Amino acid sequence: MIDGMAPTGAAWGVATTGILGWIARIAAVVTGVALLVVTCVISIPVLLLAWPAHVIRRRIGRPLGWMGSWLTTVTAAAVLVGVLLVVFVLQRTRTGMTEWHDIVDAANRANANPPPPPSWLRYLPGAAAGYRATPSTGFSAAGAIFGLVIMAELFGAILGSLAWAGAWLIASGWTGRFALVPE
């Protein structure tokens, strides 16, 4: 490999010729299809959301590499999961309130009877005087929003990675070389 150049098929150890090459290609396509079928509810919209970024970058002559492609897919998945969470939280319950109001009410009820200060505070003079175990109502809502954002990011990373891996395996198996490797 020449310094500064990306490795190509032979340097990556890709078996694209002979029976082993065909077995590897078929296994990659089958595994990729299985990943996309298992996650089809989320992977199809995610890949449809991420596709325009790939097309735009390819048209301007700077196609996305591995990391850019993965980040695009994970970001699309996180946005999709976030939108689904917002739709879920805005649903009405049997009481006529939204799920969001039920979440905040449950957090506020849990904070209504605060626990006593921890026992170790008695060793610090005056430390228990300013102890406040009950966060405000706004703090509970902000904590719930923060938790939902983190949950959307984590699920987006997991599901986006699965969708990206499935698409990458299919593209690599179909072409017989690693997809997204700049040559």
Distance CA(162)–CA(35), nearest Å, equals 7
* Residue (of 61, 37, 16, 49) closest to 166 by Cα position: 37
- Phi then psi for residue 25, to 5 deg, are -65, -45
- What pTM was computed for the model? 0.67
Per-residue pLDDT tens digits for 105-152: 777 776 666 667 777 776 777 766 666 666 666 677 777 888 889 999
Tell me which residue has tokens 């990458």: 168
What's the mean pLDDT in 26-42? 86
Residues with Cβ within 8 Å of 172's Cβ and at least 6 positions away in sequence, in order, are 28, 32, 178, 179
Is the pLDDT at 34 greater than 80? The verdict is: yes
- pLDDT given at position 36: 86
Domain ranges of the chain: 18-111+134-175
Distance CA(24)–CA(103), nearest Å, equals 49
